[in-house]
A = this chain, B = another copy of it.
């Protein structure tokens, strides 16, 4: 899993942009207005979101319509599914926990 998507979403305004765009495409001015951002700030954040592929531009006249790109969030969902497997297998399973403790014990330094 790549870290870029997380750092892109780690900024409150960018996360708000993503959630706003989940309702549908918007042009820069509307995004800035709705989130009470300056226009340059909105553009800068949209640039970051575009660079990591979370967002996509579509020029219409002298406007630029931004919309979400499903792929990265879908990949994130896939990544999370691999964790669900871990929950089901290992969590609240005393035997597994014991095994981990023994593993830690076996990893001790035997070279001295």
A binding-site residues for B, Cβ under 8 Å: 1, 3, 6-7, 9-12, 15, 19, 22-27, 30, 33, 60, 63, 65, 68, 70, 73, 76-77, 80, 82-84, 86-87, 90-91, 96-97, 99-101, 103-104, 107
Closest chain-B Cβ to A9's Cβ sits at a distance in Å of 4
Closest chain-B Cβ to A102's Cβ sits at a distance in Å of 11
- Could you show 27 A-B contacts with beta carbons less than 8 Å apart? A3-B9, A3-B10, A3-B11, A3-B12, A3-B15, A6-B7, A6-B9, A6-B10, A22-B86, A23-B86, A24-B96, A24-B100, A25-B97, A25-B100, A27-B104, A30-B107, A33-B107, A63-B104, A65-B100, A65-B101, A68-B86, A70-B83, A73-B83, A76-B76, A76-B80, A77-B80, A77-B84
